[in-house]
Structure 1
Amino acid sequence: MAEKYDLIVLGSGPGGYVAAIRGAQLGLKVAIVERELLGGICLNWGCIPTKALLRSAEILHYAQNAKDYGLRIGGEIEADLDAVVKRSRGVAAQLNKGVTGLMKKNKIAVHMGEGKLTGPTSLTVKGEKGEEKLEAKHVIVATGARARDLPFAKADGERIWTYRHAMTPKEMPKKLLVIGSGAIGIEFASFYNDMGVDVTVVEMLDRIVPVEDKDVSAFLHKSLTKQGITIMTGAGVEDIKADGKGVKAKIKDKDGKVSESEFSHCITAIGIVPNTENIGLEKLAEMEKGFIQIDPYGRTKSKGLWAIGDCTPGPWLAHKASHEGVTAAEAIAQELGNKDVHPHPLDRRNIPGCTYCHPQIASVGLTEDKAKEAGYDVKAGTFPFIGNGKAIALGEAEGFTKTVFDAKTGELLGAHMVGAEVTEMIQGFVVGKTLETTEAELMQTVFPHPTISESMHESVLASYGRALHI
């Protein structure tokens, strides 16, 4: 006899477990199926533990540059790789326990094992209890994604790494090749560079972090190069050979010249592959390049079957998955008769992106170029951190804030930031965009002094030729 629920969530990442909690809050009988660890990749192997690693690298950087702050620290300052990794894993374990507690608090049944759909609203789970049969009125697929391998050099965990291997290294690399300059590639390049590793980044496109505004890309390229990272844009890795001693890579540069270089290790950060194979989706959902196609609320083509997160079209970000999870759970509750819930479709234009390299970058909305391509008459302004008192006092005067407006209506089209703590500040612009703000409201907003956030205000003023401190 199959166990029956109102909602079953397949996958417990930041989309899945949040969807389950929201469903339970709305009075649904909910189960969640997870094959590995509650919290999924983000909590256990992605967003959170990588930030713990980057925090260790940041502290090391400050300690090594203490003299810049008028401080003396005696003795040699060096990284203890095992201790750094142990701290990161401890952070992940603490949060995993937290999600486990949230499941109990919200009376969500947890089924550990491999889940496979047998229909739009039914599945089997093979795991610690043998094979279980589950049924529900609705099912949400939240199976996430995994790192994409190079076709000619699959990750082996020894010399060729994905992000998972890079988080728990058996040894500190001496010379590291990072293939790809998206958020994952740049974060690991920044981390290992701060830890004293010789790092080279190879990016196929003509600039690093190519989804960002070109001014941010140029600034970050200059900053990382100054920190000692070798960056090759418009370049590609054509072949890799790994052995017990290291990695030999054939790299074609932007001029078409191919050369062979040796590295101790290599990280591949060339994108993701959705975890949608072999889970029974073949006849149940419309697929495109492995990603499940959904409507703005998460519905697939099969009634009762929903999907959210990294197994659906991008952007592939944890906070996007969580928001989709809430939206889908509320839409399901509404379909099941709850008249007090009113789900809103996700507006992808208002999803922020953050990269936790050094310096940090953060953005929301359209870049200046994308706004122009979309036909907008644009007003854009930039304010450098060197004109911000708090940034100078912190010794973090490297960076800027840039805003992009529709010249005709004053609508905030996009905001782009690089520098200290911009990943914390971007939310101000996200709230503004969600509230459909114009330059008038932002200009009239009082920003606290002294804060780096004042650069946000100044960038708005700069867009209209009114900046006060440059």
Structure 2
Amino acid sequence: MTDVDVLVLGAGSGGYATALRAAQLGLRVTLVERDRLGGTCLHQGCIPTKALLHAAEVADHVRDAAHVGVRASLEGIDMPAVNAYRDQVVSRLFKGLTGLVGSRGITVVAGEGRVTGPREVTVTDAAGVATVHTGRHLVLATGSMPRTLPAVPIDGRRVVTSEEALRLDRVPASVVVLGGGVIGCEFASIWRSLGAEVTLVEALPRLVAGEDEAASAALQRGFRKRGITVRTGSPVTGVKVEEGTAGPVTVALEGGDTLRADLLLVAVGRVARVDDLGFEAIGVRVERGLVVTDERCRTGVDGVYAVGDLTAGPQLAHRGFAQGMFVAEDIAGLSPAPVDPAAVPRVTYSRPEVASVGLTETEAVQAHGADAVRSLTYDLAGNGKAQILGTQGFVKLVRRVDGPLLGVHLVGDRVGDLVGEAQLMVGWEAHPEDVAPLVHAHPTLDEALGEACLALAGSPLHTHG
């Protein structure tokens, strides 16, 4: 049995951030992980998918090279080589994280961890040997896994989740992507760029339904322009896989339509890892598949916190980072401010990208009333860098009348790089009049934020809308 100041169950984004910050503050830390340091984000999520998205972007640039006077041709996609590139990126980051955790004096325990008592975790290693670990504080950070549907059985070959999709050694000729959220849109974008025929199916009326309606509409237009077929408002009623490993998949939609493809990706979100881990046995409440916490990530059980994907809120790595650092500082007695969900930026790294922070226009109207909210959309057609890149999209600002910015919504290639400034604007409750005088470098996409603020402040320099 070992006893430390902070015992962390799960070494994904939220877990290792907790451990690193706690160790930095002089606390003794034990970090328990069933797989590899870095969790889903590093090994099956954020990093490998963005590496594939970069390879896909390069393929698109080669196809479009003639438009800028460069003679080039795309001879094909070497998927094993693409995967090797992806794995190199992940490996370098994994080695760096492993070294960083080791340098901080954090004890890492490998094995399946289960809560077996108040602030106690029993870990069973690969050899079946169990050890008991305790801490003055226990942080639950077990993350999430792909959500599946009863009507759509996963076989790992023709019907896959995002985890199997990352391991494909070929580009399928045709794909149906089930789910128009972030994961589904990113994979649809990847496969289309790599040469597949893609149909994106979403049961809800629009793609990325958590984003502003204007952003959803712009993404759908962008996808259709790229040749991606989009079917919204189309629940799936069943799936049939023909016999043989090379057989196609038939997807039945509500209303009687059917789709056929070589591969079906089920990307309907992720579910928290909360089952059979002993949480409820010690009094931790689990409702609708999520651990219940207050704004300070406390579970209601003395000394037990929860962070990241297993709690209510956006399942984003950077939210897990922020919550992990917050919990470590809270345990150390620093009294940090809680993580504000409205200030957490969101990015869908498709082509075009969708990025946002704060309230949508609909949410702002619901919160403050239609008469108290004003919005403005600045089209990227007026931005020099957007013309150079050949991208279309916009910056949409939502503010309180004579008040601060409540939300910023961006569509276009590389707009994810703008969301940092957008976060500062919303997080610091800036008025457009505060941002308008600031100088933005020319020519950059960042100028569009400045131009939009100028326009919303009543002094537009160029045409907008």
Question: Any idea what the Cα deviations from partners look like across 1:347-394, whole Å, max 9, x if unmatched?
Answer: 111011001000111000111111112234111111111101122123
Q: Distance in 2 between matches of 1:161 and 1:217?
A: 25
Q: Distance in 1 between matches of 2:293 and 2:7?
A: 18
One-letter code aligned to 2:386: A
- 1:447 and 2:427 equivalent? no
Q: Distance in 2 between matches of 1:234 and 1:145?
A: 26
Q: Distance in 1 between matches of 2:80 and 2:312?
A: 37
- Match in the other structure for 2:92: 94
Q: Distance in 1 between matches of 2:227 and 2:388?
A: 25
- Match in the other structure for 1:423: 416
One-letter code aligned to 1:184: I
Q: Distance in 1 between matches of 2:294 and 2:365?
A: 28
Answer whether contact 2:433 2:457 (CA < 8 A) is retained: no
Q: Distance in 1 between matches of 2:118 and 2:86?
A: 38
Q: Distance in 1 between matches of 2:382 and 2:205?
A: 30
Instruction: Indicate the RMSD between aligned Cα atoms, in angstroms.
Output: 1.2
Question: Any idea what the Cα deviations from partners look like across 1:199-245, whole Å, max 9, x if unmatched?
Answer: 00111111111111111111111110010000011111110012330
Answer whether contact 1:380 1:462 (CA < 8 A) is retained: no
1:292 Cα deviation (Å)?
0.5
State the secondary structure of the residue aligned to 2:368.
coil
- Match in the other structure for 1:35: 34
457-466 vs 417-426, greater mean Cα deviation: 457-466
Question: Structure 1 stretches (4+) deviating beyond 3 angstroms?
Answer: none
- Match in the other structure for 2:20: 21
- Match in the other structure for 1:3: 2
Spell out the pairing of 1:290-305 with structure 2 (5 A cutoff). 290-305=289-304
Give the gaps of 5 or more residues in structure 2: none
2:396 alignment partner, one of 391, 397, 402? 402
Answer whether contact 2:15 2:141 (CA < 8 A) is retained: yes
One-letter code aligned to 2:376: G
- Match in the other structure for 1:375: 368
Answer whether contact 2:171 2:195 (CA < 8 A) is retained: no
- Match in the other structure for 2:125: 127
- 1:316 and 2:318 equivalent? no
State the secondary structure of the residue aligned to 1:90.
helix
Question: Any idea what the Cα deviations from partners look like across 1:17-60, whole Å, max 9, x if unmatched?
Answer: 01000000111000100001110000111001100000000001
1:364 alignment partner, one of 344, 353, 357? 357
301-310 vs 126-135, greater mean Cα deviation: 126-135
Question: Any idea what the Cα deviations from partners look like across 1:2-27, whole Å, max 9, x if unmatched?
Answer: 11111111000111001000000111
Question: Any idea what the Cα deviations from partners look like across 1:177-205, whole Å, max 9, x if unmatched?
Answer: 01111100000000000011000011111
State the secondary structure of the residue aligned to 2:87.
helix
Question: Any idea what the Cα deviations from partners look like across 1:298-356, whole Å, max 9, x if unmatched?
Answer: 1111101110000111111100011000111111111xxxxxx2311111110110010
Give the gaps of 5 or more residues in structure 1: 335-340
One-letter code aligned to 2:375: A
Q: Distance in 2 between matches of 1:234 and 1:153?
A: 18
- Match in the other structure for 1:45: 44
- Alignment coverage as a number of residue pairs: 456
State the secondary structure of the residue aligned to 2:36.
coil
Q: Distance in 2 between matches of 1:462 and 1:205?
A: 34
- 1:354 and 2:334 equivalent? no
2:388 alignment partner, one of 393, 412, 422? 393
Question: Any idea what the Cα deviations from partners look like across 1:234-270, whole Å, max 9, x if unmatched?
Answer: 1111100123302111112xxxx31222111111111
State the secondary structure of the residue aligned to 1:372.
helix
231-240 vs 435-444, greater mean Cα deviation: 435-444
Answer whether contact 1:64 1:77 (CA < 8 A) is retained: no
Answer whether contact 2:408 2:426 (CA < 8 A) is retained: no
Answer whether contact 1:404 1:463 (CA < 8 A) is retained: no
- Match in the other structure for 1:251: 253
One-letter code aligned to 1:144: G
1:450 Cα deviation (Å)?
1.4
1:117 alignment partner, one of 96, 115, 118? 115
One-letter code aligned to 1:431: L
Question: Identical aligned pairs, as a percentage?
Answer: 39
1:465 Cα deviation (Å)?
4.3
